[in-house]
Structure 1
């Protein structure tokens, strides 16, 4: 699938983080540096709740996020895997995703990816129209999200397409088209792309390739041409 070259393109993004906080968190620093993100920790004589992170891409300011939000996003997968209802936007996670857009992270667990997918699903829910294409790798993985997508389809006019290896027969859901495949490439990709109902500012996509069981290399993007390319690549694969 043509989306792989985007992984290579965005892998060249130079990201740095300056943390303003109290005592350094060695686990967080190691985790970020393993993602090729340079970290500069600066002492801030303030409560932990006021610690924050400044993100730069290619030397340019990309955003500011709370330190505890970044720590939870990367280090507490169980928190991210809770069932969320629709709509349920998380503004702190939205700021984090915006700051790290077009950045390939090479050692992601399922928790951060699920949190990202939920934010993008929530965006599609709020807009209520357009096309949403999602690869769950295998249709059996979709089982845990079926009720969420039933709500997403019932409450909106979205055209929803689900892709995955043919290892489970999902129940029919009005508004949801299921594409079963034996393609190994779909089996490796966790992918979600929303066309924003044609509005470039509302487009978003997540692409992650499983490199080891439960570990992924991936990125998310709000770049309109990149989202269009991902959508077209998935659609033309069937």
Structure 2
């Protein structure tokens, strides 16, 4: 596959382990079990009784703490984690119930960058693929806020942009924002006429089996909403994906260059 080597390169830079510590003031919640199932068989463990640094433990609210190599990498309110991933489903994104402006994610999720996941879609699993959907929308939000730069996104079938109300609305806003928008997939619908996006259509390797959202801002861009971001997922077999995201500028630039050159 065209993008196999890129995935392997991204994964090789990933951390050895990540641990998500859950601190609730009033004891365990059924949502803790849901969180554990979300990350089951992934390189992220969930610990409801973990010891973490004093600052996190001293907070008044319930929190999730991401730990790596013995250091606290991020801390987020558990309520934010629940709203972002545990209490939602993918229909909220596809139907447009969850808007682009609501796509911010808690840092305990975004800081799982460079961690390779293997995720199943519905009906094999109810929540796993949602992690990639939420991260895709977060990268799209980043591009929209920047209003410039280049966004390259693949859909397997281009008709998915039109079929999913939330996706159509999001990419309509992106096309109008000033972002240089490129879309990839099998040519069963024409986004160029409807959105003004640059269309890259094809079948097979790189088109039918990949899912990427790559935001490559201009070199002179500054500010928190103009930093590079990329998600890459490859379908190993029907409804089973290996996915990863990164915010490393060199990795994003290289992935964008490969997509630009090969697809």
| Fold conserved between structures, TM > 0.5 | yes
Q: Could you tell me which of 210, 217, 225 is aligned with 2:235?
A: 210
Question: Does structure 2 conserve the Cα–Cα contact (< 8 Å) formed by 1:73 and 1:80?
Answer: no
Structure-1 separation of matches of 2:114 and 2:230: 10
Is residue 3 of structure 1 aligned with residue 6 of structure 2?
A: yes
1:142 aligns with 2:161: yes
The count of aligned residue pairs is 232
Q: TM-score when scaled to structure 2?
A: 0.76
CA contact (8 A) 1:136 1:162 kept: yes
1:188-215 CA-partner distances (Å, limit 9, x unpaired):
2110111122248611111112234444
- 5 Å matches for 1:119-158? 119-143=138-162, 144=164, 145-154=167-176, 156-158=177-179
After TM superposition, the structure 1 = structure 2 runs for residues 28-47 of structure 1, keeping only pairs within 5 Å, are: 28-42=35-49
Match of 1:23 in 2: 28
Change (3 A) 1:214 1:36: same
Mapped partners of 1:206, 1:140: distance in 2: 21
Q: Sort the Cα spacing of 1:8 and 1:148 in 2 relative to 1 into closer, same or farther, 3 A.
A: closer
Q: 1:105 aligns with which of 88, 105, 117?
A: 117
Q: Structure 1 length as normaliser, TM-score? A: 0.83
**How far does residue 131 in structure 1 lie from its aligned partner after superposition?**
0.7
- Where do 5+ consecutive residues of structure 2 fail to align? 52-56, 121-127
Contact 2:210 2:234 survives alignment (8 Å):
yes
What is the CA deviation profile of residues 161-218 of structure 1, one whole-angstrom value per residue up to 9, with x for unaligned ones?
0001223333514541011111333322110111122248611111112234444221
Q: CA RMSD in A?
A: 2.8
Question: Which sections of structure 1, spanning at least 5 residues, go unmatched?
Answer: none
Describe the shift of the 1:151–1:30 C-alpha distance in structure 2 as closer, same or farther (beyond 3 A).
Answer: closer
Q: Give the number of the structure whose residues are more often strand, by fraction.
A: 1
